[in-house]
């Protein structure tokens, strides 16, 4: 979907769907959310037709409808942009909340990258290793983007 700005698609579909229509996007990754399942199904078909007019198509293996939210019977989860979205309850009030966790896949990839980096810098002095690790732009940035409350042991 990187060939069509998501804002154009969003404006186009806002004409046809309720105000409960929410769109999250980052670069060419997009998640559309609807309050009602019938709207999600209608949108899913409509976007295929709309994209075909531009010579584009949805990736079938990445595109699907997931029943998610406080009224969902199943406690489905899904991964989007390195996060796992979980139906849950707030700790303080027990009301419905969407819980975000770092995706296991992304965490595993980053742990492998950290381990590889540390193996390559094993010969450095500890102070130098720490300084270089902090200066390496991908690790501190990753920690800010994908915060995790509970880190797995053995990372």
| Structure tokens given for 52 | 């075909």
β-partners of residue 101 are 84
pLDDT digits (tens, 9 = 90+) for 110-130: 888 888 888 888 888 988 888
Cα–Cα distance, 118 to 133 (Å, whole number)? 9
Q: State the virtual CA torsion across 19, 35, 27, 5 in degrees, nearest 10.
A: -40
Q: What angle do CA 78, 82, 86 make, to 5 degrees?
A: 35
Domain ranges of the chain: 1-65, 68-102, 104-145
- Residue 109 neighbours by CB distance under 10 Å: 13
pTM surpassing 0.75?
no
DSSP assigned state of 65: -
The CA–CA distances, whole Å, from 130 to 118, 140, 154 equal: 10, 12, 19
- Residue 32 neighbours by CB distance under 10 Å: 21
pLDDT digits (tens, 9 = 90+) for 53-112: 888 888 888 888 888 877 777 778 888 888 888 888 777 888 877 788 888 998 898 888
pLDDT digits (tens, 9 = 90+) for 10-61: 777 777 776 667 777 777 778 888 778 888 888 888 888 888 888 888 888 8
């Amino acid at each position: 979907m990187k060939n069509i700005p998501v804002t154009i698609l969003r404006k186009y579909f806002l004409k046809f769907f309720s105000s409960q229509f929410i769109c999250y996007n980052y670069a060419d990754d997009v998640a559309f959310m609807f309050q009602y399942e019938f709207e999600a199904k209608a949108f899913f078909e409509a976007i295929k037709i709309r994209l075909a007019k531009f010579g584009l198509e949805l990736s079938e293996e990445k595109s699907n409808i997931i029943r998610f939210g406080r009224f969902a019977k199943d406690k489905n989860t899904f991964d989007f942009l390195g996060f796992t979205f979980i139906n849950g309850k707030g700790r303080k009030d027990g009301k419905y909340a969407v819980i975000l966790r770092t995706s296991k896949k992304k965490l595993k990839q980053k742990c492998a990258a950290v381990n590889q980096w540390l193996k390559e810098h094993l010969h450095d002095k500890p102070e130098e290793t720490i300084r270089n690790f902090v200066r390496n732009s991908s690790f501190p940035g990753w920690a800010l983007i994908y915060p995790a409350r509970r880190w797995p042991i053995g990372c």
